[in-house]
Amino acid sequence: MEFWRGSVFYEIYMKSFQDSNGDGLGDFKGLTSRLDYLVDLGVDGIWLTPFYPSPQVDNGYDVSDYCDINPDYGNMDLYHSNLDLYHSNPDYGNMADFREFMKAADARGIKVIIDLVLNHSSTEHAWFKESRSSKTNPKRDYYIWREKPNNWESFFGGSAWELDKLTGEYYYHSFAKEQADLNWANPAVRAEIEQVLAFWLNEGVAGFRLDVINNLTLVLEFPDNPVVDNEMEHVYDRNQQGLEQALEQIAAFCRKEREVFLVGEISSDKLPEIAKYSSKTMLDVTFNFNFGSVELLDAQSVFTTLNEMETALQEGQWPTLFFGSHDMSRFTTRLSNGNLSKTKLLAFLMLTAKGIPFIYYGEEVGMPDLTFSSVEEMRDIQGTAAYYQALQAGSDEQSALELAINKTRDKARGPMVFSDGKPFTTGQPWIKMASLNEEEVLSMWHFYQALLAFRKGHDFKEKEYSSLTLDGETLSYQRGEFLFLLHFGETEVTYPLQEKSELVFGEAVMLEAGVKMGAYAGIALRVED
């Protein structure tokens, strides 16, 4: 069976996990020092957000070199002290810290997958600098150029076209203007990306999380997108013809010599769109944003979505299970409103339902959203751009700030708070930190640790559902010999049981013909034949 099918992955936002040198930014040495923490927690794999050289317009998702490490995350002191050594010897400089991290992770049995941004590069990338230098440059068609823009809008707001005065043409950017979209219709671009994939596979990574991967192909006649109620519908600039072939080519290249885990971020919350790129010849899994990024969750919605995922996914393909990431509000704030029991219940769901769980760093200690009182406290371009666009459109400062707070992804990117109390940094963190209740931190940590140990010790994680039912506010599903009960109600409930059962995880009172559970309780029962 594929290694990923029973694994739990832990997403690490590089800037915010652990700083080793006091500069306020997380780095590979800091991350390496925390691998034993992750072993104690019980995860099987790590997903790293971008760590490549980047101007950091979009916190690393604007890549200026796909085959190196940002000096902020590598050996910064060596980089500054001996540039000749850094550039001439691949065993020194930024890659050295990455390679030490990879060796240490491998020694602990932890798989590492890395974020790859194949839809666009930074405008500081060497490819783009050549592309913009002249209309006849061999790399001109590495990007998408037009004499006149159409009405397409960036997903960050404003026009998706930027005039480059050097050649008098517009280049396409589906996100920030500093993030120029690569032209996947050009075979030379696909060949370059294969070299990037080969580089990191040779470094030992176990797979890739592919950013906004359904934006790779466009309708190259560039018809205007429809606009409904002043909102653009992105009809012609994502999910276009040729995407499945592109994903099949990526998958075939990656899997030539060994098993490689491919995760796709699909910029959609529509399950049929999300599911269709998951198959044996394309991506292993695609992120289920229809489930993970909702604003409200109850027993009925969970039951409905779990059933929809069973219907939409092809045979053998599994959903992803997550409630947090670097792009969304933290679920202890968004879904639980700080309620510790409800937060634990959602964690229980994520780690016992059928699928591949992705824990976002800090969830295991109950980290909440950061709060902001000014735009100066923010770092994320999505929030700050919304603020200044609102001001330009005539909004007052308070309304613009409220819009920025709603749009910013910074609220989920605060520096890590560890259960052992050791600080993220000895210096000034790159962004403000959340304050947590120590007792609640330890309670959450021990809950996650126990739940992950229970998961690791039993084979249910590899099983299909043999039943999936909803009774009032209590969701139940059976996988193998285990029956899982999740009570979403605010008061206690007695759930009837047909078979003789043994309580093996969680808190409940076993009765002669049922089990009594408290508010927001999740329990596991071993069902006897």
| Beta-bridge partners for 469 | 476
CA distance 50 to 58: 10
Q: Which helix (H) or strand (E) holds 509?
A: strand 509-510
CB 29 within 8 A of CB 35: no
CA distance 448 to 329: 20
Q: Which residue has the tokens 């990338």?
A: 125
CA distance 17 to 48: 10
Beta strands per DSSP E along 355-404: 356-360
CA distance 322 to 43: 14
* Residue 265 among the catalytic residues: yes
CA-only gyration radius of the chain, Å: 24
SS3 339: coil
Q: What dihedral do alpha carbons 98, 101, 105, 107 form, nearest 10°?
A: 120
Amino acid at 344: K
The helix-helix angle for 187-202 and 243-254 (nearest 10°) equals 30
Environment class of 84 (CB within 10 Å of its CB; exposed 0-12, middle 13-18, buried 19+): exposed
Tell me which of 44, 178, 265, 410 is the catalytic residue. Answer: 265
Strand order in the sheet with 169-172: 145-146, 169-172, 161-164
Q: Which residue has the tokens 């599903």?
A: 477
Concatenating the DSSP letter of every residue in 38-62 gives HHHHT-SEEEEPP-S----TTTTSS
Phi-psi label, residue 436: left if phi above 0, alpha if psi -120 to 50, beta otherwise: beta
* Residue 438 among the catalytic residues: no
Q: Which of 325, 263, 265, 369 is nearest to 12 (CA)?
A: 325
Concatenating the DSSP letter of every residue in 63-116 gives -S-TTS--TTTS-HHHHHH-HHHHHH-TTSTHHHHHHHHHHHHHHTT-EEEEEE
Q: Which residue has the tokens 């409930």?
A: 493
* DSSP label at residue 327: T
Tell me which of 211, 364, 369, 380 is the catalytic residue. Answer: 211
Q: How many CA atoms lie within 13 A of 185 on its CB side?
A: 12
End-to-end CA distance of the chain: 27
At 473, list the tokens: 């506010």
Give catalytic residue positions: 211, 265
